[in-house]
Amino acid sequence: MNLYELFNSLAADSARSIAGFQGELALCVTIVLLLLLRIPRLTSRIDSFFVMLIGSSVALYLAGPWRPLEQPSEIFTGLLVYDNFTVYFRTLLMAFAVLFAVFTKISGVPDRDAAPDIYALVLGATLGMCIMASANNMLMIFLGVEMASVPSYALAGLLKGRRQSSEAALKYAVYGAGAAGIMLYGISLISGILGTVHLPTMAVRLAELLQPANLESGLGSDTHMVLALGGMMIMVGLAFKLSAVPFHFWCPDVFEGATAEVNAFLSVASKAAALALLARVAIGFGYIPAPVLVETAPAASVETAALYNVADPPGEAPAAPAARTPAENAEAKAEAAVGFGPLPNREAQIAALAPAREFIWKLVAFVAVITCTFGNLAAYGQTNIKRLLAYSTIAQAGYMMMPVASAMVLAGTNAPAARDAISAVAFYAGAYVFMNLGAFAIVAFLRNMLHSEEIADYAGLLHRAPVTVICFCIVLVSLIGLPPLAGFFGKYQIFASLVDAKLWFVLFIAGLNTAISLYYYLRVVKIMTIDPEPDTRRPASMSFIPGTFIVLITAPIVILGVWPDSLNALARIATGQLF
């Protein structure tokens, strides 16, 4: 390919890539406008809330295409992948940005002076999370994680002059820096051994290393150990974003020190993006995507088409094999004798990745079980509602990781069942937006009403704010996973995926933890509804606008529990192109 053809290829790829990146570009424009509002003359005239609301709404509209994509494609020469999975999670994140803008305007945090900075940080982190959901390259994975993390450190310290808030931000930054360094080292190990950072190409080369002939002969055992070490290091970064045990230490302190508004953002948007990235990485190393994925990437099509054993790109003659020296011929014969070199077809490549899938599902299942159990047990003795919800978030992360382990068990033998397992993650992430946003919105509004975030101060609240208490009870019961609410259907799908994968021990632990969680969730319900109201409470009531927002956020939890088909259909469309 000469320079002129290369330029035309890159130009065509850029035009197609920008068309699939419009939502993110709208976020970039909104961030620039918010930063311009720091000019004193503009700050006094324009409310940054409206810039945030309009910009995130436009980004949501452009996040479309509001109809299923016929086939996935790689954009920006393979750095990102544009498929229905990307569209689903990107739409989820940008819809949350719109709801978050409305929520913060009603709660009054941040104030008008700090709002441009806070909204710019939120949209910057959202942009990084969108990259996490669509990453197709190890360097883009790291870039997306850092773009999502660094603004979050500043958001955790939103309350200026409060020691607890500053301490939370510092802890978050220190833990984040350590996790990022370990993750980057793991990426360098795996990328160095496989000779590429392009995720689908890494899977193909990993399949070549894991051929049965190599494993039986013990050839490259040191290489396999380094690959396993690199995989665990990458898992450190993912576990940090998911607040999974044992990389959860930052979560309770940050949630207690930060505002409820920031906690809503960290527990919803960050979790959704981290789950999407976990699914991307697990499938990327454990499964070979369909050849059509690489045929649509002009700059990489020739090389990757050879790796995937697909036909040459249309309109181009097959490339003539380069002449080999006698020494190279001898080396090729030696490699063939021990099982190196390309596998005959995609089915053989998928079969060769069985050891990688086994490693991934065992690692993810182990972390999920420990995370779920620890989060539920640690929530028992909490007296602060934000710390309780922090441990609840940790436990929920454990539940949502379990279907990824199921998908890895099923990917080699039952692709449709593996697809259903990932769709369970997508459905639960969609329902989780309303459950956790509703929980932290209620906490924020009660903070403004009662000037307290202690659970004991919620005693007898049913008499003061009955609608708010009823909505809070619905949210908490949905987080438990009881019918007929959205959380029940989400957990039902998670448990069904574990049954399909025959992960009986994980299923038992998940069921046991659901029973354990009954106590601390229902304890809050009991305090609000049964305990007597203290005589020292000052007269207060929930105003109309916050109450309306709470009802509107809680309504989808009930609707999705009774009629889950709409979101479930979207989740299945989102995962239809992964396997």
Q: At what angle do helices 163-194 and 250-257 cross, to 10 degrees?
A: 140
Q: CA–CA separation, 82 vs 313, rounded Å? A: 20
Residue 234: its pLDDT value, please?
95
Residue 459: its pLDDT value, please?
94
pLDDT tens digits along 292-342: 444 333 444 434 444 444 433 334 444 444 555 544 444 444 444 334 456
Whether residue 77 is predicted with pLDDT greater than 50 in this model: the reply is yes
Omega of the bond prior to 484 within 30 degrees of 0, cis?
A: yes
Whether residue 177 is predicted with pLDDT greater than 70 in this model: the reply is yes
Distance of CA 48 to CAs 45, 55, 262, 398, 412, Å?
10, 10, 17, 37, 50
CB–CB of 286/143 below 8 Å? Answer: no
Q: CA–CA separation, 130 vs 149, rounded Å? A: 13
User: What's phi and psi for 161, nearest 5 deg?
Assistant: 80, 0
How does residue 68 score in pLDDT terms, banded at 50, 70 and 90?
Answer: confident
- Per-residue burial over 232-266, b if 16 or more Cβ lie within 10 Å, else e, is ebbbbbbbbbbbbbebbebbbbbbbbbbbbbbbbb
How does residue 199 score in pLDDT terms, banded at 50, 70 and 90?
Answer: very high
How does residue 105 score in pLDDT terms, banded at 50, 70 and 90?
Answer: very high
Q: CA–CA separation, 147 vs 569, rounded Å? A: 31
pLDDT tens digits along 92-101: 999 999 999 9
Residue 85: its pLDDT value, please?
95
Which parts of 483-564 fold into alpha helices (H)?
Answer: 486-500, 504-529, 544-562
Q: Mean pLDDT over residues 42-58, rounded? A: 89
Q: Mean pLDDT over residues 448-455, rounded? A: 92
Residues 6+ apart with CB under 8 A from 470: none
Q: Mean pLDDT over residues 75-81, rounded? A: 91
Q: Mean pLDDT over residues 507-516, rounded? A: 96
pLDDT tens digits along 215-233: 666 556 788 889 999 999 9
pTM of the complete model? 0.90
Omega of the bond prior to 65 within 30 degrees of 0, cis?
A: yes
Which letter does DSSP use for residue 344 in this model?
S
Q: CA–CA separation, 305 vs 244, rounded Å? A: 37
| Tokens 């239809």 -> residue | 576
Residue 534: its pLDDT value, please?
85
Q: Over the Cα atoms of the chain, what is R_g?
A: 25
Q: CA–CA separation, 478 vs 485, rounded Å? A: 5
Whether residue 107 is predicted with pLDDT greater than 50 in this model: the reply is yes
